[in-house]
Amino acid sequence: MEFADPKKGNSANSAAETCGMKISPNKMVFFLPPLSYLCIEDHGTNRLRISDDVTPQTIRLYYDQEFKIGSTIDIGGSASVRIAYLENSTIPLVIKKFFNSSMEEIINEIKIMRMVSHPNIIRFYGVTKLKDDADYSLVLEYADGGTLEKYLWDNSENFELENQFRFAKEIAGAISWLHDEEIIHGDLHPKNILIHRLQPHLHVIKLTDFGRSCLQDYTKEFTKACGVIPYMDPKIFNIQENENHLYGITKKSDIYSLGVLLWQLTSCSSPFGFDEIENERLKVIALEIAIFKGRREDPVPNTIDKFVELYQKCWRHEPDERPDIRKVISELKIIESIDPVSNNFYSITSRNVVSQQKKGETMENLENDDSVSPSYEDCDINLDKYQM
């Protein structure tokens, strides 16, 4: 957080009074009012300032003393997530603590989260600065069912068609809300989709992690090529089309990710067995090249053919050939209304058996297929993100 310089005289004193600060010759002592808010300065300075007034621009600021900090539930590449409770409350919240993130990146996520309001998107409550931390942490809604990835793994044998469609509609509905607000998520994959238990047997989807999100008009300025390979728009991989290693993700990039997610709802397994190879650089490069050349996952037996057609449209290579999110939702409603007895299926083989077979065969196929071996003659792949 930045404040006016005391050496500048009256302007500094005025700023200090506004922010609840007391200035002495050698230091500034900060006093928070009983209920405080942060305001993002929207003129390119990437600052947060204190405000006593509640406006559309303000964010609730929580004292660290207000929280009882619980266990860490996740540690990612740029943030850790811990459970916390407000004083005199039994309702769990989440504190997302950043590391390896610039102030610009943190404020970008705060700006996006502040705009979001949808039942299938994690709710943003405000920010806090924990003891001894230099940067702010986000205070978020807690989803107690873990990630979609874990849920599918744990429920692969009893994840019924009804729940597949419900999850598909909830994910698509959240994306639709974002796109209507001109927000691109930019990093959709099963670890960024959470499950919340409303009842013992009723779960709802919650999209989270807007660290790589952006507004439609600012994609090229703020977005860099990174993400989880099987869910990334393959247009990103060709740096010949993206000077300076920047790319302009679009809403159709989210649609590509959605296509892979819809396939995963039917398979309950990681596409191309990626969870087993994600730390093996050469195999990841081989997979990226394969996807860029058009490799996609095969339909899972017992999948409704119209559902297969839908996700195959979503993951087409050319963004203009992918449907928009409204078309996706419209087709999901049509598919859901079809009588399953009269519908066409790809096979009557058990989905779970095939899923387990594919898990072991996927990387063997990649390694033995000359068309997807690590050859860089046919396309210019951005390898910088794999430097270790």
Lowest mean pLDDT among 115-119, 152-156, 217-221: 217-221
Count the helix, strand and coil residues of the chain and give each as a percent rounded to the nearest 5: 45, 20, 35
What pLDDT shows up at residue 11?
40
Interval 335-344: pLDDT, tens? 988 756 555 5
**CATH 1.10.510.10 domain position(s) in the chain:** 148-386
DSSP annotation of 272 reads G
Contact 114, 101 (CB under 8 A): no
Lowest mean pLDDT among 41-50, 223-232, 240-249: 41-50
Contact 374, 282 (CB under 8 A): yes
What pLDDT shows up at residue 23?
33
Backbone torsion region of residue 249, taken as left when φ is above 0, otherwise alpha when ψ lies between -120 and 50, otherwise beta: beta
DSSP annotation of 227 reads S
**Mean pLDDT, to the nearest integer, of 314-330?**
97
CA gap 298, 306 in Å, rounded: 14
Cα distances (angstroms) measured from residue 206 to each of 116, 193, 323, 325: 12, 6, 23, 17
Lowest mean pLDDT among 128-132, 148-152, 167-171, 287-291: 128-132
Cα distances (angstroms) measured from residue 25 to each of 8, 10, 28, 133, 254: 12, 14, 8, 25, 53
Q: Which tops the pLDDT comparison, 160 or 230?
A: 230
What pLDDT shows up at residue 49?
58
Interval 85-100: pLDDT, tens? 988 888 999 999 888 7
Contact 255, 322 (CB under 8 A): yes
**98 by DSSP, 3-state: which?**
strand
| Sign for the pseudo-dihedral over CA of 296, 249, 183, 39 | positive
- b/e map of 148-157 (b: 16 or more CB within 10 Å)? bbebbbeeee
Q: Six-digit token pair at 111?
A: 């700006």
Is pLDDT of 1 > 60? no
**Mean pLDDT, to the nearest integer, of 165-171?**
95
Q: Which tops the pLDDT comparison, 341 or 13?
A: 341
What pLDDT shows up at residue 385?
37
**CATH 3.30.200.20 domain position(s) in the chain:** 18-141
Task: For domain 148-386, say whether CATH 2.40.30.10 is its number.
Answer: no
Q: Which tops the pLDDT comparison, 231 or 23?
A: 231
Is pLDDT of 198 > 70? yes
Contact 20, 38 (CB under 8 A): no
Lowest mean pLDDT among 71-80, 172-181, 313-322: 71-80
Is pLDDT of 247 > 90? no
CA gap 178, 336 in Å, rounded: 23
| Sign for the pseudo-dihedral over CA of 112, 116, 119, 125 | positive
Of 215, 232, 216, 212, give the one whose Cα is nearest residue 224: 212
Is pLDDT of 24 > 50? no
Give me the helix-helix angle, 251-267 and 325-337, nearest 10°.
Answer: 30
What pLDDT shows up at residue 350?
38
Give the distance from CA 259 to its chain's centroid. 15
Q: Which residues neighbour 106 within 8 Å (Cβ) at sequence distance 6 or greater?
A: 98, 135, 136
Lowest mean pLDDT among 33-37, 104-108, 213-217: 33-37
Place of tokens 């997530």: 81
Q: Six-digit token pair at 316?
A: 């087409």
Query: What is the average pLDDT value for the chain, to the nearest integer?
Result: 75
3-state DSSP of 330-383 = HHHHHHHHCCHHHCCECCCCCHHHHHHHHHHHHHHHHHHCHHHCCCCCCCCECC
Q: Which tops the pLDDT comparison, 191 or 213?
A: 191
**Mean pLDDT, to the nearest integer, of 178-182?**
94
- Quick count: other Cβ atoms within 10 Å of Cβ 51? 19
Contact 230, 260 (CB under 8 A): yes
Give the distance from CA 29 to its chain's centroid. 38
What pLDDT shows up at residue 56?
54
DSSP annotation of 84 reads E
Contact 347, 266 (CB under 8 A): no
Give the distance from CA 311 to its chain's centroid. 19
In the chain, what percentage of residues exceed pLDDT 90? 37
CA gap 175, 180 in Å, rounded: 9
Q: Which tops the pLDDT comparison, 333 or 34?
A: 333
CA gap 223, 184 in Å, rounded: 11
Interval 366-376: pLDDT, tens? 545 544 433 33
Q: Six-digit token pair at 378?
A: 């046919």
Q: Which CATH number fits domain 18-141: 1.10.10.60, 3.30.200.20, 3.40.50.1370, 3.40.50.2300?
A: 3.30.200.20
